């Protein structure tokens, strides 16, 4: 059982303890474990290309899953690329969710073990019987570590059933929380450059190829025409800049963030293909589905209605208003074009375009 667990969840505390017992020397990894080293390299190449991990997981006693994970982490830390780090976290998040949903006979032990030992979460089986049927309880402070990243109202603390400081959860919601925590746990574990040891030259060719592939990925997926005009980029409101910054880092956007970004860009004249390039950086990017959704938002599919971007009031309710990041006084004063109330980010954008063009003419 322990062997199965650490191979399913190689980021878990038990897996780290298993690695310590192996007394690995990072400099001699390519020579001591050539097969695992090559496998880690191949998986990272595939992660860069497709955002996926192998579906089949070897849980045998001779499995190298834990070692392969550790070597992948070494590569990522040496490369120090947030785009790759976030893809790595997202991929293991999806794999964790899939495993926990499929392991019906062992999932209870896996849930408790992962939550308690690795994430330090306090969960227990539900004992309270209310109007709805719940199977688990979680301390509210643990719930709040992850739930705010789900902007939907269904995840707001005020909409949860609580008893004695614990949030009542269905099994599916608990698994979703654990999957999201997995992503944060992996993608936010960044080792400082000072702590990373010097590695042998045997790493060079592998690192060079991975760095080159990440560079190609970044170049292909960065929005070219949207960012080509300096005025357009400078004129974006802080809420849009915040979401775009997440896409540049390869961070997965919430559903509301994707809708907001799509509606805004389409309404300022950005083409469907340009919007697609932005979403191609997403770890869970699926081209066919994304294109359909963007075309639907543009009025090219479905009813033919072109959707307008969210207004400021809705952005506030979604937690997407970022007026504190504004480097102008438009958001703070809430006024555009001298005395008109600021009600949506399009107004902000048009006002900034006007101001910037005016400044250039004066100069």
Distance of CA 310 to the CA centre of its chain: 22
Residue range 269-316, pLDDT digits in tens: 888 888 888 888 788 888 888 888 898 888 887 767 778 889 998 899
Contact 39, 46 (CB under 8 A): no
Query: What token pair was written down for 222?
Result: 């960065």
Question: Using CA atoms, how far apart are residues 344 and 312, in angstroms rounded to an integer?
Answer: 5
Token digits of residue 81: 């690329």
What is the residue whose two structure tokens read 């306090």?
A: 122
Q: What is the DSSP string of 287-312?
A: HHHHHHHHHHHTTSSTT-PPPPPPPH
Q: Say yes or no: domain 222-362 is CATH 3.30.160.
A: no
Please work out, in degrees rounded to the nearest 5, the angle formed at the alpha carbon of residue 310 by the alpha carbons of 307 and 313: 150
Predicted pLDDT at 68? 94
Domain ranges within the chain, ordered by starting residue: 2-195, 222-362
Pairing of strands 123-125, 335-336: unpaired
Say what percent of the chain tops pLDDT 90: 31
The CA R_g of the chain, rounded to the nearest whole Å, is: 23
Question: 3-state class of 323 per DSSP?
Answer: helix
Task: Give me the pLDDT at residue 228, please.
Answer: 36
CB atoms within 10 A of CB 144: 12
The whole model's pTM is what?
0.67
**Predicted confidence (pLDDT) per residue in 48-91, tens digit:** 887 788 888 888 888 899 999 999 999 999 998 888 888 899 89
* CB atoms inside a 10 Å sphere around CB 206: 19
Sign, CA dihedral 301-303-305-311, equals negative
């Amino acid at each position: 059982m322990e062997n199965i667990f650490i191979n399913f969840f190689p980021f878990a505390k038990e897996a780290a303890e298993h690695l310590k017992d192996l007394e690995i020397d990072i400099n001699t990894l390519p020579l001591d474990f050539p097969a695992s080293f090559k496998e880690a390299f191949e998986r990272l190449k595939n992660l860069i290309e497709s955002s996926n991990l192998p579906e089949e997981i070897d849980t045998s006693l001779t499995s190298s899953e834990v070692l392969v994970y550790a070597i992948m982490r070494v590569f990522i830390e040496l490369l120090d690329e947030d785009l790759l780090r976030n893809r790595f976290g997202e991929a293991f998040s999806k794999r964790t969710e899939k495993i926990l949903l499929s392991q019906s006979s062992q999932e209870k032990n896996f849930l408790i073990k992962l939550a308690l030992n690795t994430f330090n979460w306090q969960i227990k089986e539900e004992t309270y019987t209310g109007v709805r049927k719940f199977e688990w309880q979680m301390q509210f402070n643990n719930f709040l570590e992850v739930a705010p990243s789900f902007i939907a109202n269904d995840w707001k603390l005020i909409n949860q059933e609580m008893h004695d400081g614990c949030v009542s959860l269905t099994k599916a919601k608990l698994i979703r929380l654990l999957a999201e925590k997995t992503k944060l746990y992996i993608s936010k574990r960044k080792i400082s450059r000072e702590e990373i040891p010097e590695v042998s030259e045997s790493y060079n060719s592998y690192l060079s190829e991975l760095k080159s592939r990440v560079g190609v990925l970044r170049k292909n997926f960065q929005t070219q025409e949207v960012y080509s005009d300096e005025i357009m980029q400078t004129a974006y409101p802080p809420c849009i800049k915040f979401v775009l910054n997440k896409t540049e880092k390869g961070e997965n956007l919430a559903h509301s963030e994707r809708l907001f970004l799509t509606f805004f860009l389409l309404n300022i004249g950005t083409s469907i293909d340009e919007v697609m390039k932005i979403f191609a950086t997403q770890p869970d990017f699926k081209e066919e589905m994304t294109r359909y959704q963007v075309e639907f938002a543009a009025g090219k599919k479905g009813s033919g209605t072109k959707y307008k971007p969210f207004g400021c009031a809705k952005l506030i309710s979604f937690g997407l208003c970022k007026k504190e990041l504004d480097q102008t006084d438009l958001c703070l004063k809430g006024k555009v074009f001298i005395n008109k109330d600021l009600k949506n980010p399009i107004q902000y954008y048009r006002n900034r375009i006007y101001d910037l063009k005016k400044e250039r003419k004066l100069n």
